[in-house]
Structure 1
Amino acid sequence: MSVIIDKIKLKMGVSPNDFELWVKEVDYAACQSLHSVRRFVVSKALDVDYDYVEVIDVTSLADFEAEMQTEIFQSLVHRFSQLAEVVETIRSETLLPGYQW
């Protein structure tokens, strides 16, 4: 399993409330139709120079990159780019089995 971690900074003038509402009502819902996404969560970052971090567990980086070309994904990118920007992306491979409570 692959994991993508994005550090996100809001654009000037965008309120945290507006961004969080979009994530909860649009982004999370749309990701359910992306077959490569196994888990997706956005968290508010604390004590750092960016505002949020998103963690995306995907079946594979290749599968996810293919879905990035779809109309639904591009519509998410369009709206996201009006609200925020990714300041750093980390791509990783999970060391299985891991732990989950």
Structure 2
Amino acid sequence: MTTIVVLFNLKPGVNETDYQQWARETDLPTAGGLPSVDSFEILQSQGLLMSEDKPPYDYIEILKINDMDQFGKDVSSETMQKVAGEFQSFADNPLFIMTSKL
């Protein structure tokens, strides 16, 4: 199983409330409902452990993918292309990191 971790901040000028509403109403149910996705969650950074510094990223997405070939097909759909475009309008240079368990 592949886990995709997405690290990002919102673009300057993006309203955080607008992003969070879109994430709850559109991104989570749409991407989380793909056949290739076992689970999808979006986390908001709260701080750095034992530090007063600001975390480098405000949001972290974690997607558990059961089949990467199917995931490629799923994200190619018209619906997911629309969702991906909307995500890009909110997220400032997101990093998509593919991971696997040791």
Alpha-carbon deviation of 1:93?
1.8
RMSD: 1.6
Equivalent residue, structure 2, for 1:69: 76
Equivalent residue, structure 2, for 1:17: 17
Q: TM-score, normalised by structure 1?
A: 0.83
Say if 1:19 and 1:37 are closer, same or farther in 2 by CA, change over 3 A: same
Structure-to-structure mapping, 1:29-68, within 5 angstroms: 29-45=29-45, 46=47, 47-68=54-75
User: Partner letter of residue 66 of structure 1?
Assistant: K
Which aligned segments of 4 or more residues in structure 1 are displaced greater than 4 angstroms? none
Q: TM-score, normalised by structure 2?
A: 0.82
- 8 Å contact 1:67–1:73 — kept in the other structure? yes
1 CA distance for matches of 2:98 and 2:32? Answer: 21
What are the ranges of 5 or more consecutive residues in structure 2 without an aligned counterpart? 48-53
Identical counterparts, % of pairs: 26
Tell me the number of residue pairs that the alignment of Structure 1 and Structure 2 aligns.
95
